[in-house]
Structure 1
Amino acid sequence: MTNYEQLTMLKELTDARSIPGDEKEAREVMKKWISPYADNLYTDHLGSLIAEKSGDANGPKIMVAGHLDEVGFMVTRIDDKGFVYFQTVGGWWSQVMLAQRITILTSIGDVTGVIGSKPPHILSAEARKKPVDIKDMFIDIGASSKEEAREFGVKPGDSIVPYFEFTPLKNEKLLLAKAWDNRIGCAIAIEVLHRLKGVEHPNRVYGVATVQEEVGLRGAKTSAHTIEPDIGFAVDVGIAGDTPGISAKETDSKIGDGPQIMLYDASMVSHKGLRELVVNTADQHQIPYQYATMAGGGTDSGSIHLTANGVPALSITIPTRYIHTHAAILHQDDFENSVQLIVEVIKQLDTDRVHNLTYN
């Protein structure tokens, strides 16, 4: 894949609008890009996309999973003046939301709006010191009444997505976009299958785009039960610690310094044998990497590793600035190195190696 094709893929993936429970738009983009490299393409009953690259029929099943969904909102009600109220879908920090442009995806077309609240000029001095609570926010779509909002097509249950367009920064390796969490994981799954096309190895590889990760790692449960993998990789974003105000004891990862090997998060302890194989492979091929831990939150590995009688699993993450906001930044080299690392690991795996890892 040329750099232009790669950037086009990343743009299409991140520009797609897909909150938990409404992932169709991103799934169609994923399907477009991964289908040329898959021998079989199907979904589970929740909507996770599974792209299978066949190898030895009796070989180990290797699952590489990113999630399709991004944090967003859902319409809950419309008041008599036409203002829209909403529920967060996924984790949001209220301070990143006010005055941000959004798009409501209705059955008859897109509706643009902006997140508003009571202006600070009429708040008490004490109230101005506090972040605005999400429950006190609303969306202004320019409607003058509930009836007009309904004429626009807006109704309870509609998905609401942040509005932002994919933008390379002046340093062209730094890419600014919404939904890096976790379209970058989907892109890694696509590129892993691409790099393995025509490569001899005894494994069956599954590039998976899961649904509803941001609300409980749900699609990873159903897709892993569908596949029954022998090895699982969740590919996701991680926290970059290279911006002002973050100390090394909180996180010391830097964008551009390589993918993060997740040692521990709130959803799992990484599998020691698989982790050591990945680290040794990175050292052997001189692929840069960083270690990371995350006391709060988790990735799809948290569901994958608990499938059936257990799956050795590891999360490999891309250090990313400003996740769970309208716009985040990551480094293209970290994407490239993540793909190379996973491909080199897969090329080493076979039935004996997987069996030894399981009991390591």
Structure 2
Amino acid sequence: MTQTGIPYHFFRGGTSRGPYFNRTDLPEDRDLLAQILISVVGSGQALNIDGIGGGAAVTTKVAMLSKSDHPDADIDYFFAQVSVLDRSVDFKPTCGNILSGVGPAALEMGLIAPTGDRTRVRIHSTNTGAMIEAIVETPNGRVAYEGEAAIDGVPGTAAPIYLNFMDVVGSNCGSLLPTGNLRDVIDGIEVTCMDVAMPVVIARADAFGLSGYESAAELDENRAFYDRMEPLRREAGRLMGMGDVSNSVTPKFAMLAPARDGGTITARYFMPKACHPTMAVTGAQCIASCVLAPGTVADGLPAPTTGNPALVVIEHPAGSIDVTVDYENGPDGFKLHSAGLLRTARLLARGEVFVPASVWDGTL
């Protein structure tokens, strides 16, 4: 045997894409697991030509699923961000777009049974401890992929998947404001360091001499911006209690500007070595919270929001994403109760993906 086959389902989840595995089909050892995922994706080459990655951070993501022992969950979701180029794997963050495919994948794998025309899948994100409810269309006991729901960044329409995120405040750093401040100044740039679903360092685009309306490609070509942003992100990570984040994709970085197409705010989100072509689901929740919490760097930028839950429309390079936020601003500050989003997913392939036996011989 020169190669080891691993059962997998290949999904587009939201505006990301990657393999979904049954966790029991992979070894527990993290170092060995990382080498397997690097081989699966083909990390180490710009096009990931020797793997199934797509040469971009949004296409080198991996989901690993298992039945959950958590009393409030059906499925444990373990996420890995595999790098495109430097043959590394980060197990710290989670991904809300890949999460969009967890419910359908769990059903396809037989980890949970459908329960009527709609199936509620309670998901425990083991990377962060967050709890998420996914509502998946399952007419006649089968996952529906065709439908009328559209999300910017994905062509056409598909069946809707409703995600409701709970207990996401401080899921990585332990508090809404890990530095203890609504605003910090790092290297002359005012930022808000916030942890809602994902720790994010948020600044205003004009602080960097940018409009905030630049395309993802334009920002990626602006290496002077990255040369200033990355040291700032690393120092923010230290201030947030995350230690040395030089080799981690968290905290993420985001820039804000006023909306110009009828939304609430414009944002650019960084992964962090490249600008996200659309918007991360987790990052969207953090940005929406920054918009609604008084005293952050977002003050004065957003269009007014009304009602509670509030609809926050975040304009991104490919369109916009809607976040419905149940929150309160009281004497003790901003409190987020839950955040909801509509996503879609599609099963693209299933079967076996192969890694060289020299990487893993299949022994569990």
Structure 2 length-normalised TM? 0.26
Report which of the two structures shows the higher radius of gyration computed on alpha carbons.
1
Higher relative contact order (CA 8 A, sep 6+): 1
Structure having the higher strand fraction is: 2
Structure 1 length-normalised TM? 0.26
Structure having the higher helix fraction is: 1
